[in-house]
Structures are given as structure tokens and as C-alpha cells.
Amino acid sequence: MIKPNQSTAPLLEVRALSVDYGLKGVSFRAIEDMSFALRAGEAVALVGESGSGKTTTAMSIAGLLPPNARVSSGEVRYRGRRLPIDDDAAMRPHRWSEISVVFQGAMNALNPVHRVVKQIAEPCMLKLGMTREKANGLARELLELVGIPADRGSAFPHELSGGMRQRVMIAMALACRPPIIIGDEPTTALDVITQAQILTLLGKLRSQLNLALILITHDLSVVAETCDRAMIMYAGRIVEEGTVADIFSEPKHPYTKLLIESIPNPATGKKILRPIPGDPPTILNRPSGCAFRSRCSFAMHVCTTDDPRLDPTGRGQVACHLHRSLTQEQKVAAHA
Ligand SMILES: Nc1ncnc2c1ncn2[C@@H]1O[C@H](COP(=O)(O)OP(=O)(O)OP(=O)(O)O)[C@@H](O)[C@H]1O
Ligand code: SF4
Ligand SMILES: [Mg+2]
């Protein structure tokens, strides 16, 4: 596995990005103040429950936000250049050549009436100006690269298994050789064994092509083998960020701890993913103070009034009053 070269400049920088959705004339914040960097060959996980803003983050970076969304502040830079993420037409030269997205549910994304080789060849012709013959050749090579025999390219999507279809989606995402792939829950609709195979494939492609990967998932257990760093999202914010090793061995945010405890663990006899009690707030009802407080057994008075911001923790960052450097008087006041 290629390790990120920390000395190189970031390929991608997300800086203080906030995105709102308009609903019946009112704006609601879906992601707030997201900042992170991604280097060549690095794999970063974006983890959080449903509604935490993972897809909104991915769609913002790829310039694929729906019409009722608005980038209210911040920016995304690719190799130092600001991307026109709020302009679909201006983003076209960047999408698929610089940043590709692999979505979940390949069956919906693939055209049922076209053979898969044609669907991979099409963007090669459009984006790379290839002749049909050359594009078909590249499509076959890409199929082999993702572990599908080239002659299966003549199949229609319904003739392939779910795992094969997801491999086709990955081949399409790789067609214009982007250095960054965003996988938005790319394995969610698959059975456990196929899920593992797709994650292994992404890891292999990452080393072979020095790809940078943003892997979006609600399941922290898929992160350990695949990623270098993890960002834990809750209610539209990053609440903890660090290396995967640190996050697993020394989680700091109470939410991260619960996410880790929710993972099945054969060593302790825990066989199923145990959901975290309570529900996260939606963008319509974000509470004052810490958005996690109604589910947090460590909540203090200060958590109802003050919204904790991300603070450095040494090698990572966390947004929780338990980890803020409060004075003794502040600590007493916090518990009052
Ligand atoms: N087009 C939209 N209009 C209004 N609200 C939206 C829209 N898309 C998403 N939202 C809301 O924005 C918030 C973040 O949604 P998002 O899809 O980014 O979350 P997610 O973390 O990807 O969730 P999931 O795990 O279910 O895919 C949610 O509260 C969601 O209901
Ligand atoms: S800020 Fe307070 S409520 Fe939020 S996670 Fe930390 S202790 Fe819990
Ligand atoms: Mg999503």
C-alpha cells in the first residue's frame, strides 16, 4: 500500500466549507465549516450516521449539488486552484478528469439498455476525444483492471452480479485517470463478502495508480483496512479527525467511542452492528450547544450553551468540551 507523502502539497483542500439547502424559502445548514486536505495516494474516510452530511460534502467537492443547495461559504482547491464547485458547467472539465465519484447502487447509475463496455467507452470518447475503437480498447483494459474479464464487457448490467456492476462503476470512474476518487458508500448495497472484495480492489487500485481516496461510509468497521485517516461527522460537522490507528486505539469524542462500540466484535461475542441509542438531529432541528448532547452520557451544562469547535489534540482534532483546556473555575461552572 502506498503511503501518503506528507511532504507533498495537498491535491485537494476543502477550506471552511458550508452548504445550505433551501426548503420552502428557508435555508438550512447541511454542512458547516468543513476543512481538510487530501494528498496523492492518501485514503481518508468520512464516517457518520445517516443525515450527517457525508453525501453533501462529496457532492460539493464534485460540483454536483442539487439545485436547492447553495455553497454559503468556503472553497475547494485542487492543486492550489479554486474549483468552481457551484457552477455545474464550469466544473465539467474538472469532474471525472480530476475528481470522480463512485456512488452506491450501481444498478440505478448504469443504463440498462447499453452494454457495459459502451458505457465505459462513452466518457473516454467525450472527455479524452478518443475514437470509438480506441475507447472500446481502453474500456476493456479498465474492465480487466477492476477484475472483470474483458469479454464480459458485452454484457448488459442486469446480466452482471451486484459486485460486478460496482466494479464497472469503478472502471467508469477511472476512465479519465483522475488522481482522486470519492466513494460514496460504494459497498453498502452489497453482501459482506462482495463488500470486502470491492474494498480490497479499491486498496489495490490506490497503490497501483497512486489514487487519493475519500471513502464515505456509515460503518466505521470498513475503514480500518482501507484508510489512513478518518473524519467523524455528526450533524454536518467534523467532530473528530485523526489517523485510523489513533481513532481506533484512543477515540476522544463520545460519539466516536459509541461508533466503535457499535461495531460487531467476534472477540467479545458481539455479532451484530448495534445502533447508537437516540436519533441525530436533522438540519431542521439542530439544538443549541453541542448537537450530540441529547445522546451523550458526559453532557455538562456548558454543552447546552456553547457549541464546541474543533481543537487540536496533538496528532488529530476533536470538538468536545471534555477535551477543551478549561480552567478549574470553568470546569466547575461547566458542571453547574
Ligand atoms: N436536496 C436536499 N434538499 C434538502 N435537504 C437535503 C437535501 N439533500 C440532503 N438533505 C438533508 O441534508 C442533510 C445531510 O444529508 P446527506 O445526504 O449529506 O447526509 P448523509 O450523511 O450522506 O446521509 P446518508 O448516510 O443517509 O446517505 C440531511 O438532513 C438531509 O435530509
Ligand atoms: S461537548 Fe458535551 S455533549 Fe458534546 S460530546 Fe462533548 S461532552 Fe458530550
Ligand atoms: Mg449519503
Q: What are the structural domains of the chain? A: 12-98+178-286 (3.40.50.300), 106-177 (no CATH)
Tell me which residue of 140, 142, 204 sits closest to 170, measured CA to CA: 142
Contact 227, 214 (CB under 8 A): no
pLDDT for 212: 97
Residues 6+ positions from 245 with CB-CB distance below 8 Å: none
Residue 143 in contact with ligand 2 by CB distance below 6 A: no
pLDDT for 46: 97
Residue 30 in contact with ligand 1 by CB distance below 6 A: yes
Torsion of CA 130, 136, 139, 144, to 10 degrees: -140
Residues of the chain with pLDDT under 50: 1-6, 327-328
User: Which grid coordinates belong to 35?
Assistant: 476543512
pLDDT for 6: 47
* Interval between CA 258 and ligand 1 midpoint (Å): 22
pLDDT for 272: 67
Model pLDDT for residues 193-222, shown as the tens digit of each residue: 888 888 999 999 999 999 999 999 988 888
Q: Which ligand is nearest to the CA of 319?
A: 2
pLDDT for 222: 85
Residue 292 in contact with ligand 2 by CB distance below 6 A: yes
* Interval between CA 294 and ligand 2 midpoint (Å): 9
User: Which grid coordinates belong to 55?
Assistant: 453525501
Q: Which ligand is nearest to the CA of 305?
A: 2
E strands in 157-253: 180-184, 212-217, 229-234, 237-243
Calpha distance 78→62 (Å, rounded):
11
Q: Which ligand is nearest to the CA of 48?
A: 1
Pocket-testing residue among 320, 325, 330, 331, ligand 2, by greatest number of atoms within 8 A of Cβ: 320
Task: Give CA 143 to chain center in angstroms.
Answer: 24
Tell me which residue of 191, 183, 320, 178 sits closest to 251, measured CA to CA: 320
Which pairs with CB-CB distance under 8 Å and at least 24 residues apart come from 207-211?
A: 207/1, 207/2, 207/41, 208/145, 209/174, 209/177, 210/2, 210/40, 210/41, 210/179, 211/41, 211/179, 211/180, 211/181
pLDDT for 336: 53
The residues whose Cβ lies within 5 A of ligand 3, an ion, are 54-55
Type of residue numbered 323 = H
Cα separations (Å) of 45 from 27, 124, 306? 28, 28, 28
